[in-house]
């Protein structure tokens, strides 16, 4: 049995301000108290550097996206080297909102993940099905296809994380049942082991989709749930700290 350290990562999306960074103090305290849990916050690009200062080393600060190229004529994009210079330790790639709104393909997500790994950032690759795909019974096939196209081949232990985020449960208040989560995380683990051998057992799989204080413990108890990618509940310490505490058990 592989012991994978829990990871609870908050995705602030297009929310936050300098004043909002005050929320990081209590989160940092909770992270220190949790001990065996990795805690991360991914604020907007503009807040990464000041967030690093406020986090005091107790929380890893990351980005919500990166570009696949090191530099160039890519207006409005941010390279991995720029993120590292700002103090980022990780990056989210392939979030469903970017796949939908910016029409990112699996190949583009993979290229970004490869760039992030080359640059030394912990990389969270997101996959997940829509409500229509789940209703059609194609959810497992859809997610494994996304994994096949989005995950890099080359990575070192601890660098690569998969986040399963059912699109129909993001920001909707709907949460996959423990049985739903167990089915998908098992399918993801099966894919990872089939592709990478025993190394696939060392990749953490996070659940993301309306994770809150009142359902976190139940979700963390599901096999192969190695933490959470948290959206709205990560914006305040009052909502986020109980999730960190649930991960610590």
The model's confidence at residue 172, banded by pLDDT at 50, 70 and 90, is: confident
Give the residue range(s) of CATH 3.20.20.70 domains in the chain: 138-233
The answer to whether residue 1 scores a pLDDT higher than 80 is no
Residues forming the active site: 95, 165
Which class is domain 138-233? alpha beta
Q: What are phi and psi of 156, to 5 degrees?
A: -105, 160
Number of residues that make up the chain: 249
pLDDT of residue 2: 58
| 72-83 pLDDT per residue, tens | 999 999 999 999
| 40-68 pLDDT per residue, tens | 999 999 999 999 999 999 999 999 999 99
The model's confidence at residue 33, banded by pLDDT at 50, 70 and 90, is: very high
| 196-243 pLDDT per residue, tens | 999 999 999 999 988 999 999 999 999 999 999 999 999 999 999 999
Q: What's the token pair of residue 244? A: 């960190």
């Amino acid at each position: 049995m592989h012991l994978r350290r829990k990871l609870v990562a908050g995705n602030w999306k297009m929310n936050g301000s300098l004043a909002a960074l005050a929320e990081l103090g209590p989160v940092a305290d909770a992270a220190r108290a949790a001990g065996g849990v990795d805690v991360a916050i991914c604020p907007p690009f503009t807040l990464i550097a000041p967030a690093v200062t406020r986090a005091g080393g107790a929380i890893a600060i990351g980005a919500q996206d990166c570009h696949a190229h090191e530099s160039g004529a890519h207006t409005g994009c941010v390279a991995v080297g720029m993120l590292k210079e700002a103090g980022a330790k990780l990056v989210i790639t392939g979030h469903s909102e970017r796949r939908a709104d910016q029409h990112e393909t699996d190949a583009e997500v993979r290229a970004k993940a490869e760039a992030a790994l080359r640059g030394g950032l912990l990389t969270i690759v997101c996959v997940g099905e829509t409500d229509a795909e789940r209703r059609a019974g194609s959810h497992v096939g859809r997610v494994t296809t996304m994994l096949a196209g989005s995950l890099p081949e080359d990575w070192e232990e601890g660098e690569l994380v998969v986040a399963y985020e059912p699109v129909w449960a993001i920001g909707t208040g709907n949460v996959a049942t423990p049985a739903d989560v167990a089915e998908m995380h098992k399918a993801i683990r099966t894919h990872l082991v089939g592709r990478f051998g025993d190394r696939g057992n060392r990749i953490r799989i996070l659940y993301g989709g309306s994770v809150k204080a009142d359902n976190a413990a139940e979700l963390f108890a599901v096999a192969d749930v190695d933490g959470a990618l948290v959206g709205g509940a990560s914006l305040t310490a009052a909502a986020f700290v109980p999730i960190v505490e649930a991960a610590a058990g």
